[in-house]
Amino acid sequence: MTKIHKLAYLLLLGQFFIPQAQAEWVDLSPSVEITTSRQALDRVKRVLFSYVTITNTSTEALPSATRLVISNPSIPTLNSDGTTGDDESYILVSGGIEAGASTKVRVDFQLKRARLSFTPKLMKDVVAADLQLLSHEFVELRGREGHQGLFPLFSAPTAGDAKVHTFTNNAVKELSITVVTDFGNSQFVVALNDSLAEGEKEAYTDIVLPSTPFKLRFKMESEQGWIVTTESDVITPQTFSLSLALVDGHTFTIGENYAALSITNHSNFDTSYEVIINEAVEKPINSSSTKSLCRFFNFQHYAQLFI
């Protein structure tokens, strides 16, 4: 049985913690066409009013619970549902608007002998439910030749080249991953593809990890330009990796066969490893940074362990 001993603690990942993104009101006006009717007099209610028509010119349905914000009115608004943080009146637009469809909203104003003017805007409360990073994990290529596949890591990723598997909902049109460290950031663009699961998109993205602790920052953007950003917890990478493979000409059968144990140092510092084979300690292996070393050993008496 072969063991590698090194003074390091591996961070078990599982699924990264994904904090909720903070809500933010964004202007949907670039995705819609807004027109207003001429002012009219309601003799029963004794108010002035105007109809605001909102047409969805985007290729996606607009969600419900949007706000029609009345900016810079020359006459005070009467039928508002509330005011924004900028003290602008708004009317809730419920039910959503399908792509290409329209809805009409009546806005009432005080009855005054004055010319009515105002600027309507459609606003949406963007929350994590709109743009969702459903899951993400590091994966690696495993399996015998001809039958290899990508599988999740069960420990911390190794410094250097890595691959991240992500799932998002369909609202996400663009996704980027930034590796955030104390020494600078590196950004990687994700190529999203439709997932086998309906309503989801997935991607496998090659990134480069530092040998120091880092975070992953995920920036999601919708077709309308909404942006939500979320970060993982701090991740501490492994600074070495090892692999075990048969030497050419040898097979997993009982008899005298040889396997090669490779150790790669991914850190920027020289280090050493202790290899234990058949419970007998070999001499320590000294490894220069970014160098790979091999040890060959006979597993004649342990062949059954590898079958």
Pair 16, 153 in one domain:
yes
For residue 278, the enclosing domain spans 240-306
Same domain, 35 and 160: no
pLDDT score of 80: 93
Checking DSSP bridges between strand 133-142 and strand 200-209, what pairing results, if any?
A: unpaired
Phi-psi label, residue 52: left if phi above 0, alpha if psi -120 to 50, beta otherwise: beta
Are residues 137 and 100 part of one domain? no
The predicted pLDDT at position 66 comes to: 87
Q: Is residue 2 a part of any domain in this protein?
A: no
Which pLDDT value is given to residue 124? 81
**End of a domain among 68, 102, 126?**
126
Cβ atoms of 139 and 152 closer than 8 Å? yes
Please indicate, yes or no, if residue 268 is contained in any of the structural domains. yes
Q: What is the C-alpha to C-alpha distance for residues 91 and 69, in angstroms, rounded to an integer?
A: 7
- The pLDDT assigned to 304 comes to 32
Distance CA 131, CA 125 (A): 12
Q: Are residue 172 and residue 78 in the same domain, yes or no?
A: no
- What does the DSSP 8-state code read for residue 121? E
Average pLDDT of the residues in 88-92: 93
Instruction: Encode pLDDT of 262-302 as tens digits.
Output: 777 766 667 666 666 554 444 454 544 444 444 444 443 33
Point out the domain boundary residue: 126, 147, 176.
126
How far apart (Å, rounded) are the C-alpha atoms in residues 70 and 80? 9
**Number of C-beta neighbours around residue 265 at 10 A:** 24
Chain segment 217-260, per-residue pLDDT in tens: 999 988 767 778 888 999 999 877 666 666 666 665 666 666 67
Is 146 found in the same domain as 15? yes
What is the Cα–Cα distance from 112 to 44, expressed in whole angstroms?
Answer: 15
Name the pLDDT band for 163 (thresholds 50, 70, 90).
Answer: very high
Q: Among 173, 196, 231, where does a domain finish?
A: 231
Question: Do both 18 and 149 map to the same domain?
Answer: yes
* DSSP code for 171: T
Are 255 and 300 spatial neighbours (Cβ–Cβ below 8 Å)?
Answer: yes
